[in-house]
């Protein structure tokens, strides 16, 4: 439950930052999202 709240707030923060500087933040965030998902769901 705490984790889902954190995730919601994290995505709100990301969206807010993306609106501030959309091109840089979208590409930067996507890059890290891909790497993070590979770490979490992949084998490392």
| CA-angle at 23, arms to 21 and 12, nearest 5° | 55
Tell me the pLDDT tens digit for each residue of 1-44. 688 888 888 888 877 776 666 666 667 777 777 777 778 777 64
Q: How far is CA 12 from the centre of its chain?
A: 10
Identify the residue whose tokens are 């807010």: 16
> pTM of the prediction?
0.35
13 alpha-carbon distance from chain centroid: 9
Q: With the C-alpha atoms ordered 4, 6, 37, 44, is the resulting torsion angle positive or negative?
A: negative
pLDDT of residue 40: 74
Per-residue pLDDT, 10:
87
């Amino acid at each position: 439950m705490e984790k889902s709240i954190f995730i919601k707030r994290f995505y709100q923060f990301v969206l807010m930052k993306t609106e501030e500087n959309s091109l840089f933040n979208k590409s930067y965030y996507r890059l890290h999202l891909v790497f993070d998902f590979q770490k979490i769901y992949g084998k490392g």
